[in-house]
């Protein structure tokens, strides 16, 4: 989706000789309640520092462009929507979603001629920031859907109030809130990634019931690693990937036993068992009956009904 471009009334401001910013005038296109730490040198030891935070209302035709950004900012959309472009990807960020202004990137955002946007923003720096973004995976993301929107909003509002009031210890408390925001958003990325990973894994297993698949082979096919995949399956299904695969095989075998007249040997082969005796033992362990007993009993019940 193309970024709405409104060059009328857009002015260029050079930030530091490297970063450049184009924006529409504040009095016409947006209003902002913004608070800045004017003495950041008083807390140089903080590994994560809140530089500024604000609540902003952007009206229609708002536009901002930044080249070679020197900032890292977390932007949470509360109402309306924001068109956003970064790293050649374009998004329409909706309420409850977060977009990131990343260091050393070119970015644009705009409201367009019809919509508006109400959002919160917090800008962080510090020597721990890079490690936090790397370890949580946020450095690879432009947009994230928080798993708990209200928690992120509350933490960002806490950052705003700390910079507004500047009561003793505010820098430390804002730093802690910043950590919590980043960790919460990182958990949202992890959950999203796990959901996608599990969906791909289940689809792959369902379409390869006749094959022998090991955990390392499955993880490699998904671009994951065995430990992460094993943990994701246990969290979602309460069992390992291989036990889940066997469960799928047994369910498929049940369907074939009930709905076809295929010999049990053929059913065993279709579900990945070359040895019929081993298949029968595995089936009995999970279904409580042998394949033959399962077919006979369920067909009898079906005929009575």
Token couple for 292: 């033959």
Tell me the pLDDT band of 16, cut-offs 50, 70 and 90.
Answer: low
CB-CB neighbours of 9 under 10 Å: 12
pTM above 0.95, yes or no: no
To 5 degrees, how large is the angle CA 66–CA 69–CA 73? 100
Q: How far apart are CA 226 and CA 288, in angstroms?
A: 30
DSSP state letter for 213? -
Question: Within 13 A of 264's CA, how many CA atoms are on the CB side?
Answer: 16
Range of weakest confidence among 130-134, 157-161, 299-303: 299-303
The owner of tokens 């924006």 is 23
> Higher confidence at residue 6 or residue 154?
154
Residue 90 has pLDDT above 60, yes or no: yes
Which residues, in sequence order, are CB contacts of 25 under 8 Å at separation 6+?
9, 11
Torsion of CA 60, 106, 23, 133, to 10 degrees: 80
The owner of tokens 């705003």 is 160
Please report which residue ranges of the chain form alpha helices under DSSP H. Answer: 26-29, 129-136, 149-165, 170-206, 215-222, 226-237, 241-259, 264-270, 276-287, 291-304
For residue 301, the model assigns a pLDDT of 53
Sign (positive/negative) of CA torsion 148, 103, 143, 91? positive
Grouping H, G, I as helix, E, B as strand and the rest as coil, residue 130 is helix
Range of weakest confidence among 10-24, 100-114, 153-167, 255-269: 10-24
- In contact, 150 and 143? CB cutoff 8 Å: no
Tell me the pLDDT band of 15, cut-offs 50, 70 and 90.
Answer: low
Average pLDDT over the chain reads 88
Span 91-115, average pLDDT? 91
Q: How far apart are CA 11 and CA 24, in angstroms?
A: 6
At 34-65, the pLDDT tens digits run 999 988 777 667 899 999 999 999 998 899 99
At 155-199, the pLDDT tens digits run 999 999 999 999 999 999 999 999 999 999 998 887 677 777 888
Q: Which of 115, 167, 123 is nearest to 15 (CA)?
A: 123
> Can you list the domains of the chain with their CATH numbers?
11-191 (2.60.120.280), 208-305 (1.10.10.60)
- In contact, 59 and 102? CB cutoff 8 Å: no
């Amino acid at each position: 989706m193309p970024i709405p471009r409104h060059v009328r009334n857009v002015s260029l401001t050079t930030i530091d000789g490297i970063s450049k910013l184009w924006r529409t005038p504040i009095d016409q296109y947006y209003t902002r309640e913004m608070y800045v730490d004017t003495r950041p040198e008083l807390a140089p030891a903080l590994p994560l520092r809140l530089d500024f935070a604000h609540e902003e209302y952007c009206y229609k035709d708002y536009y901002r462009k930044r080249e070679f950004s020197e900032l890292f900012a977390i932007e949470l959309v509360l109402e309306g929507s924001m068109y956003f472009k970064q790293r050649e990807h374009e998004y329409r960020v909706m309420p409850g979603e977060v977009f990131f202004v990343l260091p050393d990137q070119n970015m644009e955002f705009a409201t367009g001629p019809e919509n508006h946007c109400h959002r919160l923003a917090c800008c962080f720096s510090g020597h721990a920031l890079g490690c936090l973004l790397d370890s949580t995976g946020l450095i690879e993301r432009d947009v994230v859907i928080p798993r708990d929107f209200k928690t992120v909003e509350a933490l960002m509002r806490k950052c705003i109030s700390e910079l507004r009031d500047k009561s003793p210890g505010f820098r430390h408390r804002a730093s802690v809130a910043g950590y919590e925001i980043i960790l919460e958003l990182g958990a949202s990325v992890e959950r999203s990634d796990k959901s996608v990973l599990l969906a791909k894994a289940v689809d792959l297993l369902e379409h390869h019931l006749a094959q022998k698949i090991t955990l390392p082979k499955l993880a490699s096919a998904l671009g994951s690693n065995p430990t992460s995949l094993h943990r994701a399956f246990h969290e979602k299904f309460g069992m390992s990937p291989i036990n889940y695969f066997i469960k799928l095989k047994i369910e498929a075998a049940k369907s074939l036993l009930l709905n076809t007249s295929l010999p049990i040997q053929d059913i065993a082969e279709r579900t990945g068992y070359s040895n019929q005796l081993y298949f029968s033992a595995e089936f009995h362990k999970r279904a409580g009956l042998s394949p033959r007993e399962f077919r006979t009993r369920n067909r009898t019940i079906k005929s009575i009904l």
